[in-house]
Amino acid sequence: MYSMDNDIDHILVSEDALKAKVNELGAQISRDYAGKDLLLVSILKGSVVFMADLMRAVQIPCAIDFMVVSSYGGANTSSTGLVKIIKDLDADLTGRDVLIVEDILDTGITLSKLVPVLKMRNPGSVKICTILSKPSRRMADIEPDYCGFEVPDEFVVGYGLDYDEKYRNLPYVGVLKPEVYSGE
Ligand code: PRP
Ligand code: MN
Ligand code: MG
């Protein structure tokens, strides 16, 4: 039987390692946000798997909301107007402590444009939690407040990350075999 595993060259972050890290992040967030009005904001679609796991690792009451954005334009475009909001939040952010949940901070362009948009809505705070980060790819001046794993600049899929909308449902983070995408 064909399995997605056949398309993976090697595993970068195992299911067990993800689970342990998510629990660690959840405990840390629970301490840091105790007594606050925590709102977890998941940026679809990549963050859906991490969001589902992280929210259950957070041990304090929190609300959740979802957003779909698409970023276009280069890193040197200073305007915050260049993040296109496809689906906006339902929640009113006034005075609330917003924690953006992402699967990966890559160039950082998406969040460097989204964070100022959210800050204009008068939240108490806006921070970023990402399970993966590719620091070598950074183009915008932005770093996560909470980060699971730093990964090299390889073609990573799984745990929400896609190639051509597929492989999001792999339970681990792996590197795609070159022959899978070399037809491009
Ligand atoms: C990916 C990823 C992050 C973003 C990071 O999303 O899930 O949201 O890119 O890129 P950046 O740091 O270079 O801006 P994508 O736009 O592929 O949409 P998806 O989440 O639906 O896969
Ligand atoms: Mn995404
Ligand atoms: Mg994607």
Domain architecture of the chain: domains with CATH: 16-71+82-151 (3.40.50.2020)
| 99, two tokens | 């924690």
- Whole-complex ipTM: 0.97
Protein residues whose CB sits closer than 6 Å to any atom of ligand 1? 43, 45-46, 71, 102-110, 162
For ligand 1, atom 10: residue with the closest CA: 106
Cross-strand bridge partners of residue 168: none
- DSSP reduced 3-state for 54: helix
What are the backbone angles phi and psi of residue 123, rounded to the nearest 5°?
Answer: -75, 165
Band (pLDDT 50/70/90 cuts) for residue 184 is low
Query: What is the per-residue pLDDT across 81-126, written as a single tens digit (0 to 9) for each?
Result: 578 999 999 999 999 999 999 999 999 999 999 999 999 999 999 9
Question: What predicted TM-score, i.e. pTM, was given to this entire model?
Answer: 0.95
**111 residue type, one letter:** L
Taking the CA of 138 as reference, the closest ligand is 1
State which residues have CB under 5 angstroms from ligand 2, the bound ion: 46
Range list of H helices, the chain = 15-32, 48-57, 109-119, 178-181
Ligand 3: distance of its center to the CA of 125 in Å?
27
Q: Would you give the DSSP letter of residue 151?
A: -
Average pLDDT over residues 120-145: 98
